[in-house]
């Protein structure tokens, strides 16, 4: 169950200009604001601002409002800008009265955790993950020529063996960009799995990937 808030961290490269950095931060904030609005409407039938304190707290455990600005990856004309990976979250099947999140699974061995003693990690950490995405993502030619840009939100599970599975686009903007986002996620190397009570477990991640043309 979710018992505490989490932070989103962004690493700023020294070569990144102030304007580009601010643009990335604005995009991240806008993305999470929109996701919070959608979840509030889906679960409570009203906007985030109209939700009670407890309802807002439950939503913010999934899509945090606080972003710690520790940096951002380099921006280039031929590579997309990626916000850092989001905190792991469980698939929202139900918000119960206690405002905790539940995962509906057939048995404990299939459970996907949203809170673990040790979080799963990309080899080398978040900086290495951002570098991997920057090096491997390619802007589709059709989308580039059509001037299509924006955010693709991908959800996937880091399995108990560190493998990436069940990747899917939960918010897309264009078939070509959606396909590219899924492709890159699918070729990520095995992660260090999350640990709970000394055992590796599965954890779900939601990762927004930003494609931007200069």
- The tens digit of pLDDT for each residue in 59-103 reads 777 766 554 433 333 334 454 545 444 444 433 333 333 333 333
What CATH number has the domain spanning 8-211?
3.30.2420.10
pTM reported for the whole predicted model: 0.52
- The tens digit of pLDDT for each residue in 9-44 reads 555 454 556 566 666 667 777 777 788 888 888 888
Alpha carbon separation from 6 to 3, 146, 147, 164 (Å, rounded) = 10, 37, 35, 22
Residue of 162, 153, 152 lying closest to 192 (CA atoms): 162
Domain ranges of the chain: 8-211
Contact indicator for 85, 161 with CB cutoff of 8 Å: no
Q: By CB neighbour count within 10 A (0-12 exposed, 13-18 middle, 19+ buried), where does 52 fall?
A: exposed
């Amino acid at each position: 169950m979710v018992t505490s808030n989490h932070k989103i961290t962004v690493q700023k490269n020294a070569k990144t200009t102030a304007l580009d950095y601010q643009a990335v931060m604005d995009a991240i904030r806008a993305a999470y604001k929109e996701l919070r609005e959608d979840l509030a409407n889906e679960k409570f039938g009203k906007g985030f601002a109209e939700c009670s304190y407890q309802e807002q707290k439950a939503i913010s455990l999934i899509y945090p409002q606080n972003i710690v600005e520790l940096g951002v990856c380099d921006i280039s004309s031929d590579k997309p800008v990626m916000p850092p990976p989001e905190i792991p979250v469980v698939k929202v099947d139900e918000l119960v009265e206690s405002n905790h999140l539940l995962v509906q699974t057939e048995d404990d061995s299939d459970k996907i955790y949203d809170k673990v003693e040790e979080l799963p990690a990309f080899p080398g950490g978040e900086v290495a993950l951002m570098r991997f995405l920057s090096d491997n993502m390619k802007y589709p030619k059709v989308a580039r020529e059509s001037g299509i840009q924006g955010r693709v939100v991908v959800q996937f599970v880091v399995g108990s063996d560190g493998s990436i599975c069940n990747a899917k686009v939960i918010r897309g903007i264009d078939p070509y960009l959606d396909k590219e986002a899924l492709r890159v996620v699918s070729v990520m190397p095995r992660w260090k799995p999350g640990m709970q009570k000394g055992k590796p477990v599965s954890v779900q991640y939601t990762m927004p990937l930003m494609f931007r043309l200069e």
